Amino acid sequence: MQKTLLILGIVLLLIGLLWPWLTKLGLGRLPGDIVIERDNFRFYFPITTSILVSILLSIIFWLFRR
């Protein structure tokens, strides 16, 4: 459990440090992400981005388990 939490912390730290470059790739503005904009209201639900991040994290954790 400690190893998993340590790896998760390192992954989150790396994502945080690389965030400026990840936003330039279009992550968060992919086709399939729902954006509703009204006068004083903005709703954003990143479905496609969430699926992509989930697949990527699953692969990373699968590689560390081996």
pLDDT digits (tens, 9 = 90+) for 7-45: 889 988 998 898 888 778 777 788 888 999 999 999 989
Looking at residue 13, its pLDDT comes to 93
64: left (phi over 0), alpha (psi -120 to 50) or beta: alpha
**Residue 62 predicted with pLDDT over 80:** yes
Looking at residue 4, its pLDDT comes to 84
Answer for the pair 45, 33: CB distance below 8 angstroms, yes or no: yes
The residues, any chain, with a CB within 8 Å of residue 1's CB and separated by 6 or more, are: none
Mean pLDDT throughout 46-65? 89
Global pTM reads: 0.60
Looking at residue 40, its pLDDT comes to 92
